A and B are shown apart, each in its own frame.
Chain A
Amino acid sequence: MNQVLNFVSEKDLKEFLSRVSPGALYGSYLRDEAHIFGRIDDLEKVELGLRIARSPVPAKTVFAPLRERVAVYPSRDYHWEVEIPEESLPTVLGIRGCDLRALEFLDLIFLEDEVQEPFYAARRKNTVMITTDCAEIAPSCFCTVLGTPPYPEKGFDINLSPIEAGFVVEAGSERGEELLAEAQGLMREASDEQVAQRDAMRQKTIDALNEQNAPYKFDKPIAQIVTEGKESEKWHKLVVPCVECGACTHICPTCYCFYLYDQPTEYREGLSERVKGYDSCLYADYGKMAGVGGMKPTPRPTLAARLRHRFLHKYCWAPEKYDVFGCTGCGRCKDACSGAIDVREVIKELAE
């Protein structure tokens, strides 16, 4: 890619965003002080969330919603495909490095396979990805512990790095270059001073993450710690605060498990529909198979086995299969957990 970096001022940002966003806009904004990641109806009126720590809800939700209808049957005319016109591609704004890497992980399961997940695929391929660096961090953030930086390195169309009075703008794809051409008059080439500010901001965030996560410097690779801990009795203790609510998996940007259920449809009387919704490997029912009464077999009858399964999947089997963790270190699972189970603490406990 052409490495020319540009600068857009804070004052021109919204005009800039409206020029580079061909269609509907989704992303990071503030509503009543809460950091939302979702549809932005009125860019003019909204306070954007590009200078703060990642949102509580991951960008995943735009590409794979909590619940959606995937089929109506038996029907020959039900139009099931997600169709996104080329000229009005939606834009997702303010995707952090962790969430972008999470989408790249989901791509491995949903896209890079014999059969694609068609709903995710349509959205993922036809979306303008505007990412942003983290100038601030949340107390649960730990991306650097997993060896990844708090800013996107690749896979974006446009990246915005917050600096004094504006943003350093970087194109990361041909689509990004083309879109930036629409906003030429609003940008100027970033000065050496502005690029230096960006680099300093990035280093400052890395330093803050390193300081925050100083207790989680491990002597061994994380995959090895979790693998070696798989037969540990500690899982029974570690799982005590878990109330099996599934919040950790629902909020996780890389969790992709779903269940399918059927019901009568409102689409047309007499037909049925199939709905896809997030599932959670912590639920007792997750792996439960057919059986009479209380005899429904499951491979993981204990909650301890299910918690272990989540960790083994994220830190051992994902790297084994894809050479990448199934975790981006965003820390949302800890924030969402009623029992405040902190994955860093779990790994630390296993390492001891």
Chain B
Amino acid sequence: MKNPYAPINAELLEVVEETPTIKTFALKPEEPIEFRAGQFVQITVPGLGEAPFTPSSSPLDKEKVEVTVLKTGRVTDALHECAPGEVLGIRGPFGKGYPLEETAGKEVLIVGGGVGLAPLRALILVLIAQPNFKRLSIKYGARTPDELLYRKSYAEWDSQEKVDFTPTIDIPATGWVGHVGLVTTLLDDLDIDIKNSVAISCGPEIMLKFVTLRLLELGYEPTQIYLSMNRKMSCGLGKCGKCNIGPYYLCKDGPDICYDKIKDYPDVFG
């Protein structure tokens, strides 16, 4: 039997500085980890602890697992100090992942905020590689141009057939000619066939809340909205209890979960 709590070794292959506070870490687990977009892994900094991250690399790339990490706490601070060649730990994958079965023939709306584009990149890459959708519209916001993730990929994504990508920043900046305003403002003149659409969002909880409210105003049904919920995932096995919303455990039933399932439970958006 495999110990579900023990991490396996994963060599750090490469570290890419994405923004002043966000880095992407490419890891090679000693046994390959096959994941679906949206499923998450627990990364261990040896002796210090583990934290959950949803891989940002394509699930089709079986050679490595990439995670894009905001420096924001004990484990992530230590991760940011790590250099290629170091050996970390990894457990997973956990959870259900994004509802890829819901995208066929649909107009897929992706709404991301800040480091929330990381899990969505895995989804975007797999959708672009297997384009069963009718359309893929990506709206992404960060506070400043410096904080936009994966800037080099935007032109490539936007140039794909049936795909459009629109970034926005919250605060005007010199040299920025794109949209300015919160990511919800990109939803104001949405030219999407809402009846045939599915919306998937990942970002800070406060953003998820306002994106959800806006989507509902626009006519999306709760069943058409999927959210990467922010909870403290730990064991990954649906046992330690911390990631619940009502009777659901996001580490098993999520972390991407249909809004319709959770909307009537308290404390959904904190």
Question: Which residues of A are in contact with B by a Cβ distance under 8 Å?
Answer: 70-74, 80-81, 109-110, 113-115, 117-118, 230-231, 256-264, 272, 274, 276, 279, 281, 286-292, 296-301, 305, 308-309, 312-313, 317-318, 320-321
Cβ contact within 8 Å between B238 and A109: yes
Given A300-B270, A317-B247, A287 and B242 contact (CB-CB distance below 8 Å): yes
What A residues does B246 contact at CB under 8 A?
312, 317, 320
Q: Which residues of chain B in 1-15 are interfacial with respect to chain A, using CB atoms and an 8 Å cutoff?
A: 1, 3-7, 9
Q: Which residue of B lies closest to A321 (CB)?
A: B247
Of the listed stretches B47-55, B99-107, B144-152, B176-184, name the one at the interface; the rest are far from the partner chain.
B47-55
What B residues does A288 contact at CB under 8 A?
232
Q: Report the minimum CB–CB distance from B231 to chain A (whole Å).
A: 7
Cβ contact within 8 Å between B89 and A299: no
Cβ contact within 8 Å between A258 and B46: no
The 8 Å CB contact of A71, one of B3, B72, B75, B245, is: B3
Q: Assess whether B65 is interfacial by the CB under 8 Å rule.
A: no
Q: Report the minimum CB–CB distance from A68 to chain B (whole Å).
A: 10
Given A74-B9, A262-B44, A309 and B267 contact (CB-CB distance below 8 Å): yes
Cβ contact within 8 Å between B230 and A289: yes
Given A110-B239, A317-B247, A320-B247, A292 and B46 contact (CB-CB distance below 8 Å): no
Cβ contact within 8 Å between B232 and A312: no
Question: Which residues of B are in contact with A by a Cβ distance under 8 Å?
Answer: 1, 3-7, 9, 44, 46-51, 70, 72-76, 87, 89, 204-205, 230-232, 234-235, 237-242, 244-247, 252, 266-268, 270
Cβ contact within 8 Å between A80 and B242: no
Cβ contact within 8 Å between B242 and A257: yes
The 8 Å CB contact of B5, one of A71, A300, A321, is: A71
Cβ contact within 8 Å between B50 and A260: yes
Known: A70-B3, A113-B238, A312-B246; 6 extra A-B contacts, CB below 8 A, are A256-B241, A257-B241, A262-B49, A274-B6, A287-B242, A309-B266
Cβ contact within 8 Å between B234 and A115: no
Given A262-B49, A290-B76, A256 and B231 contact (CB-CB distance below 8 Å): no
In the A-B complex, the 7 residue pairs with the closest CB atoms: A257-B241, A290-B73, A71-B6, A321-B247, A272-B47, A70-B5, A317-B247
* Alpha-carbon distance A71/B2, docked complex (angstroms): 11
Q: Report the minimum CB–CB distance from A224 to chain B (whole Å).
A: 15
Cβ contact within 8 Å between B72 and A292: yes
Q: Which residue of B lies closest to A298 (CB)?
A: B270
* Alpha-carbon distance A305/B75, docked complex (angstroms): 28
* Alpha-carbon distance A276/B5, docked complex (angstroms): 9
Cβ contact within 8 Å between A299 and B267: yes
* Alpha-carbon distance A239/B242, docked complex (angstroms): 21
Given A290-B72, A305-B267, A317-B247, A258 and B239 contact (CB-CB distance below 8 Å): yes
Cβ contact within 8 Å between A262 and B47: yes
Cβ contact within 8 Å between B72 and A297: no
Q: Which residue of A lies closest to B94 (CB)?
A: A115
What B residues does A73 contact at CB under 8 A?
6-7, 44, 46, 89
Can you list 16 A-B contacts (CB < 8 A)?
Answer: A113-B239, A115-B237, A230-B266, A257-B241, A259-B234, A260-B5, A260-B49, A274-B6, A281-B241, A288-B232, A289-B232, A296-B73, A297-B204, A297-B230, A305-B267, A320-B246
The 8 Å CB contact of A290, one of B5, B7, B75, B205, is: B75
